[in-house]
């Protein structure tokens, strides 16, 4: 067989196939979603949702008070921790650090776990009002020692639920859809 033919009939398809396979694999493996999921940064205070929300059953909204009032669920103020920790577990180093921050007023920079691009204006209120549980999007936070991202935060994922909200809504809710128009999220 002529070497050129060998090339054209063997290596061209094989190489092309290999390149295609590589591109597809890398493309699939590097979806922003894959990188962003399971993102669980170490927090400045080793706060455990498993302990507080899981074992102690403190409702989510006790701390994330903004969720029915604001677009943002809100990370609780340091003082919210001090509601209990002014008297509880004051011997722990982390609590002492917290107390020091509460006294000094210095910033407590929690690492952001869920980040939507700035051009997305997500609003917690209608979702909570529709009866969608926090866990639907944020995962079983009450079982997480360190909070990590569980959901996809891509537009496709938002739309998926908006087009068929059945699974997210509490049982027995009437069938409804979320808006699909641009302005619903982008302003």
Q: What is the DSSP string of 15-81?
A: HHHHHHHHHHHHHHHT-HHHHHTT--PPPSS---HIIIIIIS---HHHH-GGGGTSSS--PPPHHHH
Smallest separation, CB 168 to other proteins (Å): 16
Q: What angle do CA 166, 169, 171 make, to 5 degrees?
A: 90
Smallest separation, CB 75 to other proteins (Å): 4
- The single residue among 42, 167, 175, 182 that binds other proteins, judged by CB under 8 A, is 182
- The single residue among 45, 58, 99, 151 that binds other proteins, judged by CB under 8 A, is 58
- The single residue among 93, 107, 171, 174 that binds other proteins, judged by CB under 8 A, is 107
Interatomic CA distance for residues 168 and 146, integer angstroms: 24
- Interface with other proteins includes 55 (CB under 8 A)? yes
- Name the segment binding other proteins (CB under 8 A); options: 137-145, 154-162, 166-174: 154-162
- Interface with other proteins includes 72 (CB under 8 A)? yes
DSSP conformational letter for 130: T
- Interface with other proteins includes 118 (CB under 8 A)? yes
């Amino acid at each position: 067989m002529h070497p050129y033919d060998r090339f054209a009939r063997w290596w061209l398809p094989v190489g092309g196939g290999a390149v295609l396979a590589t591109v597809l694999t890398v493309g699939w493996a590097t979806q922003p979603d894959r990188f962003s999921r399971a993102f669980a940064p170490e927090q400045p205070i080793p706060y455990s949702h498993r302990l507080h929300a899981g074992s102690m059953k403190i409702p989510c909204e006790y701390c994330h008070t903004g969720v029915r009032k604001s677009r943002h669920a809100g990370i609780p103020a340091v003082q919210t921790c001090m509601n209990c920790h002014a008297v509880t577990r004051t011997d722990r180093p982390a609590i002492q650090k917290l107390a020091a921050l509460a006294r000094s007023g210095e910033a407590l920079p929690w690492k952001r776990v869920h980040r939507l691009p700035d051009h997305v204006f997500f609003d917690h209120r209608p979702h909570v009002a529709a009866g969608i549980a926090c866990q639907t999007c944020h995962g079983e936070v009450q079982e997480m020692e360190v909070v990590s991202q569980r959901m996809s935060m891509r537009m496709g994922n938002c739309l998926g639920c908006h087009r068929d909200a059945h699974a997210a809504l509490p049982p027995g809710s009437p069938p409804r859809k979320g808006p699909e128009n641009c302005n619903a999220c982008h302003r």
